[in-house]
Amino acid sequence: MSNQNSSNLDSYILNAILDHSRKFIAVIDCDFKYLAFSQAYFDGIKKFYGTQITLGMNLQDALVQLPVERAKEIANFSKALRGEAFTVTGEFGNPSLERNYYEVRYTPIYDNNKKLIGALQIANDYTYTKRAEENVKNLTNQLNLALEAAQIGSWHWNLVNNTVTFNERYRELFGLPNTDNIKVEVIFDRIHPSDLQRVFHEVNVSVTGKSFFETEFRVLLANQVIRWVTGLGQVYCDAKGNPSYMLGINLDITDKKQSEERLYTQQEQLANIAKLLSISETASNLAHELNQPLTAIATYAQLCTSQIENNKFDQQELLNHLKHIAKQSLRTGEIIHKIKEFTKHKSLSCELTSIDDLINETLEHITYLKRAYTLNIVLNLAQNIPLINIDKIHLQQVIINIILNALEAMPTDNDHDNQISIATALNNNYAEIFIKNNGAPINEETQKKIFDNYFTTKASGMGIGLSMCRTILEAHRGNLILLYSSKEKGTCFKLSLPIH
């Protein structure tokens, strides 16, 4: 190849590079005149300086629109024309437009005889990279502010050299010395001995499995103070797929754990109180419900004793009294069993029963009352009421309880006609029992509280009678209400029970 051909090829290659390069390239001679420039440089000067440059134009004339930038550029080219090669970085361009970031290299140019003949400028636009760095920095600052506001400790564990870097909050959480990074063993030493093996295993599984982990553990500080923390971490790998580092956060959850501990203690205490209340409720129910059969037993026993002491007894009558005592004794055992089961499990032992049989058998249990009270019991039982599925013992106690309450509201003198009427009715799918008495009415204030637990108007009462009665009716999917109570009409309670 001839020298002429070689020269033409070099010129062609140079022009191709200048036309297609994205870099800002310019060559000037010692008089600051352009010898060559890239298309990118041409476009840049036109954009920022408003000048359309040409070969042979003086650099100083091209940059006349921006005196400050012009002075910097002339100074840098002058330095290169003195034989010095150097690089500058920073913002360049028209202040009225968006500023760009460039890395600019200035290099002196020599001929074959090592004579300085010009200078070369190659500028690399790294605005995109710079903006990305600024965005990352802003996001990092925002993240750090969020972590600081939330009191979250953050950390970076280099799995290659086993060192950990962290923020100030993490240092406080673990009581670490004031250094930029620390060996991971120092951090593991801060973990409570009872939790160390578990946490070490979970972290090791995460590292080997290149996965996420989450755990809770205690930190034992130098002053023996225990701090609960929750930890989250994620493993990241290098280009070869090997675990390279782990990023994570820790949060102080001591207050949460202490609250949970207090709640657990309170729940235990409440459970113990509930047991005591259950025992108390069972004892109260037993005392209340056993009062009637024990009173009956005592009454019949006194009759037997009196007749024997006075030597005035009929053998058959005495036998009847003893049978009543035996019957009430057996009933006492049944009541104890029923109350115990109902209080413990709220369960019933139901059987199909005629409502007439329920009422008649109940009245048999209180025949002794006719000896203590001037009492007239009137029955008005409806015909053809279907069978009801009930726990007979419980329902008998409900009826007896209401009758006993009625007797206590009645005067004891013989001038008053004490009367209790019991009526039944069929209302849709419910059998209804109405127990009415003509004693003193219940005042309005008492009516509002009559079914409340432990409410009583009796000096020696326990306040569980009517409350327990309603609970028993509700367990049968029925209801007990005070229908009315007045001086004119008397007092009436209504029991509702679903038909089988």
Strands 419-427 and 376-380, bridge-based pairing: parallel
In terms of Cα–Cα distance, which of 300, 305, 358 is closest to 324? 300
pLDDT band at 396 (very low <50, low <70, confident <90, very high): confident
Extract the tokens encoding 365. 């249990």
Choose which CATH entry (1.10.287.130, 2.60.120.460, 1.10.510.10, 3.40.190.10) describes domain 261-345.
1.10.287.130
Query: Global pTM?
Result: 0.39
> What is the fold of 348-500?
Heat Shock Protein 90 (3.30.565)
> What is the fold of 3-125?
Beta-Lactamase (3.30.450)
pLDDT band at 140 (very low <50, low <70, confident <90, very high): low
- DSSP single-letter state for residue 434: E
In the chain, the percentage of residues whose pLDDT exceeds 90 is: 25
* pLDDT tens digits along 274-304: 454 455 555 555 555 666 677 777 777 777 7
* pLDDT tens digits along 75-91: 999 999 999 999 998 87
**How many Cβ atoms from other residues are within 10 Å of residue 326's Cβ?**
12
Domain locations in the chain as residue ranges: 3-125, 148-252, 261-345, 348-500
Extract the tokens encoding 162. 């086993």
Is there a contact between 467 and 453 (Cβ–Cβ < 8 Å)?
yes
- DSSP single-letter state for residue 72: H
- DSSP single-letter state for residue 499: B
Quick check: 196 pLDDT over 70? yes
User: Distance between CA atoms of 341 and 359, rounded to whole angstroms?
Assistant: 23
Q: Which residue has the higher pLDDT, 10 or 15?
A: 15
Q: Is 1 exposed, middle or buried (0-12, 13-18, 19+ CB in 10 A)?
A: exposed
Go through 228-251 and write b for each residue having 16 or more CB atoms within 10 A of its CB, e for each that does not.
bbebebebeeeeeeebebbebbbb
Whether 3-125 shares its CATH topology with 148-252 is answered yes
Q: Is 327 exposed, middle or buried (0-12, 13-18, 19+ CB in 10 A)?
A: middle
Give me Rg for the CA atoms of the chain. 51
Query: How much is the pLDDT for 5?
Result: 47
Query: How much is the pLDDT for 194?
Result: 92
Extract the tokens encoding 444. 């309005």
3-class state of residue 441 by DSSP: coil
User: Distance between CA atoms of 262 and 272, rounded to whole angstroms?
Assistant: 15
Determine the straight-line distance between the first and last CA of the chain, rounded to whole angstroms: 119
* pLDDT tens digits along 92-130: 666 666 667 888 999 999 998 999 999 999 988 887 777
Query: How much is the pLDDT for 446?
Result: 86
Is there a contact between 244 and 145 (Cβ–Cβ < 8 Å)?
no
pLDDT band at 327 (very low <50, low <70, confident <90, very high): confident
Q: Is 180 exposed, middle or buried (0-12, 13-18, 19+ CB in 10 A)?
A: exposed
Separation of CA 290 from chain center: 47
pLDDT band at 461 (very low <50, low <70, confident <90, very high): very low
CATH architecture for the domain at 148-252: 2-Layer Sandwich (3.30)
In terms of Cα–Cα distance, which of 498, 469, 475, 493 is closest to 355? 498
**How confident is the model over 148-159, as a mean pLDDT?**
80
